[in-house]
Amino acid sequence: MATPLTSGALTSHLAQVFAQYPIEVVHGEGVWLHGRDGRKILDFYGGHAVAGLGYGHPRWLAALERQARQMAFQTNALPMLIRERAAARLSKFVGLGLDTVFWINSGAEANENALKLAFKLTGRSKIVALEQGWHGRTAAAGAVTWGALEKWYGFPRTPFDVAFTPRDDPAAIDQIVDRETAAVIVEPVQGVGGAYDVGKPMLQALRTRCDDVGALLIFDEVQCGTGRTGAPFAANFHGVAPDMLTAAKALGNGFPVSALLLSDRVAGNLKYDDMGTTFGGGPMACAVAEAVIDTIESESLLANVRQVSMYIRTSCIVGPVTAIQGAGFLLGLKTSRPAKEVQAALLAKNILTGTSADPHILRLLPAYILNEGHVDRLSDALARISA
Ligand SMILES: Cc1ncc(COP(=O)(O)O)c(C=O)c1O
């Protein structure tokens, strides 16, 4: 979530729907952004959780260039090895029996398809989502996003029944998830909701209740997945397997790609035409997803995320930061002052961070290549901001 530090003054032909930061970026390398004004900014925001490998990673560039020269696009009606290979790579990376992949283009589109499949497969009409959860801007994904109806939804009505359950109360689940429920959708670590780790007990309780009433469990790992927790996915991090899992953002490291992963139970019920897409599964997107997973594994980036995340937790409770929540590189720094003030003060010291729906949580979503030296710069800057 961009913070309204200033209104969008850089352009006049763009729809004015985004609050924008007061820096125009022209170039990025690794974890650094270069502004038009010559400023060099340390990026703890990662293009809103997208730049997992950082900017201009050579393997990512090479995969894009190779695939662009070979074949930049081809429809799903024509088989391509890269599409198959990337799906196999992603399934293997996740494990947990999520062995079937449907490629699409954005997080919301992946969630939209997951929800549609849940209705088709169960014949039911209700979805349960978590309070403070965020799932995207389309009709179905927006319907299950906490607070969307009051703030920006725009459609005359939601396309199905939705109930929200508290994110920290396993005891409430049995009342809300019932035999009318087609699916429960949950971000295992909430992003917009404040880098809040829903945690294993809650996820396990949802898994058990879904099994009891015949509902499907969907993990939205658009933000918390693809290595961000220091595990392949948060499902691995918590050891709870969903029936469907959605991935996007860091999966493409900036090239648009998303994926819906299905368990055998779900995939076994698919029929032709249940889902479709033009750009999803494009060879460039698949080459990039494969390169991202290869890079995470071959450069031991999951271990780096775990190690540097721990370092952030031990060194960054300084200045206005009173506590740290979240997992891996999806961290929420609790601030004594409004997080937006701390964010602005950090940006003045050339460090970019994010905020969240919680006004006292500063959100960090850095690239997996971040090191302890970068964290020292953050903790030094925080120490110079008054509490
Ligand atoms: C958890 C989560 N789900 C879904 C989405 C929507 O993804 P997209 O913007 O790619 O449609 C987001 C975007 O921020 C997200 O954080």
149-207 residue pLDDT tens: 999 999 999 999 999 999 999 999 999 999 999 999 999 999 999 999 999 999 999 99
If one residue of 222, 229, 255, 365 were mutated to test the ligand 1 pocket, choosing by the most ligand atoms within 8 A of its CB, it would be: 222
Residue 130 Cβ contacting ligand 1 at under 6 Å: no
In sequence order, the 6+-apart residues with CB closer than 8 A to the CB of 60 are 53, 253, 254, 255, 288, 291, 292, 295
pLDDT in the model for residue 52: 98
Per the structure block, which two tokens stand in for 351? 């460090």
Per the structure block, which two tokens stand in for 222? 């658009």
Q: How would you write the pLDDT of the chain (387 residues) with one tens digit per residue? A: 444 445 455 568 999 999 999 999 999 999 999 999 999 999 999 999 999 999 999 999 999 999 999 999 999 999 999 999 999 999 999 999 999 999 999 999 999 999 999 999 999 999 999 999 999 999 999 999 999 999 999 999 999 999 999 999 999 999 999 999 999 999 999 999 999 999 999 999 999 999 999 999 999 999 999 999 999 999 999 999 999 999 999 999 999 999 999 999 999 999 999 999 999 999 999 999 999 999 999 999 999 999 999 999 999 999 999 999 999 999 999 999 999 999 999 999 999 999 999 999 999 999 999 999 999 999 999 999 999
Cβ atoms of 361 and 298 within 8 Å: the answer is no
pLDDT in the model for residue 4: 46
If one residue of 1, 18, 135, 329 were mutated to test the ligand 1 pocket, choosing by the most ligand atoms within 8 A of its CB, it would be: 135
Helices and strands, number each (H, E), in the chain: 14, 16
Cβ atoms of 379 and 351 within 8 Å: the answer is no
Bridge partners for 270 per DSSP = none
Which amino acid type is present at position 298?
S
pTM: 0.96
| C-alpha–C-alpha distance, residues 70 and 162, integer Å | 45
Distance 385 CA to ligand 1 centre (A): 31
Distance 17 CA to ligand 1 centre (A): 16
Parallel, antiparallel or unpaired: strands 244-247 and 216-220: parallel
Cβ atoms of 54 and 30 within 8 Å: the answer is yes
| C-alpha–C-alpha distance, residues 212 and 178, integer Å | 9
> Cα–Cα distances in Å, from 206 out to 85, 225, 261?
32, 19, 19
| Closest listed residue to residue 254, CA positions, set 56, 19, 102 | 56
Which regions of the chain does DSSP assign to beta strands (E)?
25-29, 32-35, 40-43, 100-104, 126-130, 161-165, 181-186, 189-190, 196-197, 216-220, 244-247, 258-262, 321-327, 330-335, 351-352, 361-364
Distance 134 CA to ligand 1 centre (A): 7
Parallel, antiparallel or unpaired: strands 32-35 and 361-364: unpaired
pLDDT in the model for residue 11: 61
Residue 223 Cβ contacting ligand 1 at under 6 Å: yes
**If you take atom 16 of ligand 1, which residue's CA is the nearest one?**
223
Distance 221 CA to ligand 1 centre (A): 9
Cβ atoms of 246 and 232 within 8 Å: the answer is no
* 217-243: b (≥16 Cβ within 10 Å) or e: bbbbbbbbbbbbbbbbbbbbbbebbbb
pLDDT in the model for residue 110: 98
| C-alpha–C-alpha distance, residues 176 and 361, integer Å | 28
| Closest listed residue to residue 1, CA positions, set 247, 353, 313, 335 | 353
**Which atom of ligand 1 sits closest to the CA of residue 1?**
14
Residue 228 Cβ contacting ligand 1 at under 6 Å: no
